[in-house]
Amino acid sequence: MKYFIIINLFAGGNNARKVWPDIKARLAAANVSYKAVYTEYADHAVELAEQILSRIDATHQKDAVIVAAGGDGTLHETLLGCKRYYETHPNENQVPISFLPIGSGNDFARGMKIPLRWEKALTNILNCKEPTTINVGHYTDLDNHTDGFFTNNFGIGFDANVVHLANHSSLKSNPFFGKFSYMAAILNVINNFKGFYTEISGTDLTKKTFKNTFLLTTTDISYFGGGINIVPTASALDDHLDLVLVEKPSIWQLILFISMIFLKRHLRLKFIHHYHEKQLFIKTNGNRYGQIDGEELGERTYNLMLETVKYPFWIR
Ligand SMILES: Nc1ncnc2c1ncn2[C@@H]1O[C@H](COP(=O)(O)OP(=O)(O)OP(=O)(O)O)[C@@H](O)[C@H]1O
Is the predicted pLDDT of residue 127 greater than 80, yes or no?
Answer: yes
All structural domains of the chain with their residue ranges:
2-129, 138-313
- Please give the CATH architecture assigned to the domain spanning 138-313: Sandwich (2.60)
Q: What is the share, in percent, of the chain residues with pLDDT greater than 90?
A: 83
- Cβ of 296 less than 6 Å from ligand 1: no
DSSP string, 227-260: TEES-TT--TTSS-EEEEEEEPPPHHHHHHHHHH
C-alpha to C-alpha distance for 84 and 78, rounded to whole angstroms:
10
Task: Tell me the whole-structure pTM to 2 decimals.
Answer: 0.94
- Cβ of 295 less than 6 Å from ligand 1: yes
Buried b (16+ CB within 10 A) or exposed e, 77-98: bbbbbbbbbbeeeeeeebbbbb
Cα 200 to ligand 1 centre (Å)? 31
- Cβ of 222 less than 6 Å from ligand 1: no
Contact between 95 and 61 (Cβ < 8 Å): yes
- Go through the chain and tell me how many residues it has: 316
- Cβ of 105 less than 6 Å from ligand 1: yes
ipTM, 2 dp = 0.96
173's CB contacts (< 8 A; 6+ apart) are none
Beta partners for residue 66, in sequence order? 4, 97
CA atoms within 13 A on the CB side of 177: 10
Residue of 6, 38, 48, 74 with the most ligand 1 atoms within 8 Å of its CB, for mutation: 74
CATH class (in words) of the domain with range 2-129: alpha beta
Helix 158-167 and helix 181-192, axial crossing angle in degrees, nearest 10: 130
Q: What's the one-letter identity of residue 78?
A: T
C-alpha to C-alpha distance for 116 and 223, rounded to whole angstroms:
14
- Cβ of 151 less than 6 Å from ligand 1: no
Is the predicted pLDDT of residue 124 greater than 70, yes or no?
Answer: yes
- Cβ of 294 less than 6 Å from ligand 1: yes
| pLDDT tens digit sequence for 259-284 | 999 999 999 999 999 999 999 999 99
Ramachandran sector of residue 76 (left: φ over 0; alpha: ψ -120 to 50; beta: rest): alpha
Task: Specify the range with the lowest mean pLDDT, choosing from 88-92, 173-177, 206-210, 277-281.
Answer: 173-177
Residue nearest to atom 18 of ligand 1 (CA): 71
